Amino acid sequence: MTDRAGAVAGAGADLRDEPVDPDVVDSDLVYEGRVWDVRSDTIRYGDEEIVRQYVDHPGAAAVVAIDDDERVLLIQQYRHPIRYRDWEVPAGLLDVAGESPRETALRELAEEADLVAETCEPLVSIFTTPGGNDEVVHLFLARGLSAHHTPHPREAEEADIRLEWVPLADAVDGVLAGRLRNGILVAGVLAAAETLRRRASAGE
């Protein structure tokens, strides 16, 4: 059975992103940056060769920290490309050799919010800008929060980080109203809210 768009009814549960391994004819390092690089690849795709430039990114991990009162930790800091102090969840690059995404998430929670967590479980993973970079961000849900024994020093944009504990429902409202637009925050807050809703429905 198909709908008017020709889609197979009930196929949604089986949808998944599909990896592709195209023939890379040429790959050039256009710019070598301090944090990430820019590459230009020539690939054979279909019956033609195409050139695509993209940011070669190390990836990142982020953590949605929710306390016992169902409040989510949000941090605000300056982001120069957008000229905003946007609201975010703690996150950082996968730039420490041998460190897993979960370990990175916990490290960022400690460094940016001076917190530790009893549990830290996978939430979702997202491609942030698949048309322009290869970044994958792994998001985790942290519970059982307590203060880190040693506060972390902060500098540059992190020197004036602002922390706020916001009811999760209010954060969802802020996302849907367009007041909170950071992509990682959007994915993390909505995924956490739905995960907790499903658990409550299941009596967990």
Active site residue ranges: 158
In 3D space, the residue among 132, 140, 74 whose CA is nearest the CA of residue 107 turns out to be 140
Dihedral angle sign, alpha carbons of residues 162, 166, 168, 171: negative
Question: Side chain identity at 142, as an amino acid letter?
Answer: A
Whether the CB-CB separation of 76 and 87 falls below 8 Å is answered with yes
Residue 149 to residue 108: CA distance in whole angstroms: 15
